[in-house]
Amino acid sequence: MNPLEGLKAAMAAVDAYYKERGIFQDRFGFGESPALVVIDMAYGWTDPAYAGGSARLDPAIDAIRQLLPAARAKRVPVYYTTSAYDERPQFKSAADFSAKFRKWDRRACEIDERVRPEPGELVIYKEHASAFAGTPLIGHLIAHRVDTLLITGCSTSACVRATATDAKSNYLKPVIVREAVQDRSEVAHEWTLFDIQARFADVVSVDETLKYLDGLK
């Protein structure tokens, strides 16, 4: 049995257990005032030339490119996150867990041109997995009266998951757009989406999200 087949069997067993007990798996639904966050789609993650980069993110980039114009057309706030670049050793990021992983240059922290921010869209430089930890994101969301956070980017099992759980902790409706997130590991990606859907966030298709955005006033 390959790892994905084993994972599917495990998820089916857990799903059956949840259904038998009648726990988890409810949906939060969309709210009335969303924001879109694009997590860490910088070259250090999207370009395979970097140790931490992966071409597995290309489909997620394609999905984000569908969402961005739809969000902007409805004046939905768009936020980006990436790591701050600083050559001084005393300012290394808390995410610097591997010397090989973090052999970066300044370009590695730049948002991939394919999903580049437009003027006026905030780029948040973070040191931790969550887009909320130690950043001004929640203040901006409150200022815009946001009740729903549409979550895209990478990686599913780390920064996407951490952002979704913190969004819920801040009383937002966290919505992960399935096609617009990705991980270096397919197993980690699929398990995280299954697990987080059960307890912390809605996982919805890009088509459903586009329909929601189109229906906004």
- pLDDT tens digit string along 68-106? 999 999 999 999 999 988 665 544 554 454 555 556 788
Which residues are designated catalytic?
159
Give residue 197's identity as a one-letter amino acid code: Q
Q: How much is the pTM?
A: 0.88
Q: How many whole angstroms separate alpha carbon 214 and alpha carbon 70?
A: 7
Q: What domains can be seen in the chain, in order of their start residue?
A: 28-214 (3.40.50.850)
CA neighbor of 171 nearest in space, from 213, 215, 128, 141: 141
Residues in the chain: 217
Per-chain mean pLDDT for the chain: 89
Highest-pLDDT range among 7-11, 93-97, 100-104, 128-132:
128-132
Q: From the CB of residue 7, how many other CB atoms can be counted at a distance below 10 Å?
A: 17
Longest dimension (CA), the chain: 54
Q: How many whole angstroms separate alpha carbon 110 and alpha carbon 56?
A: 18
CA neighbor of 160 nearest in space, from 184, 136, 139: 184
- Two tokens at 61? 């980039």
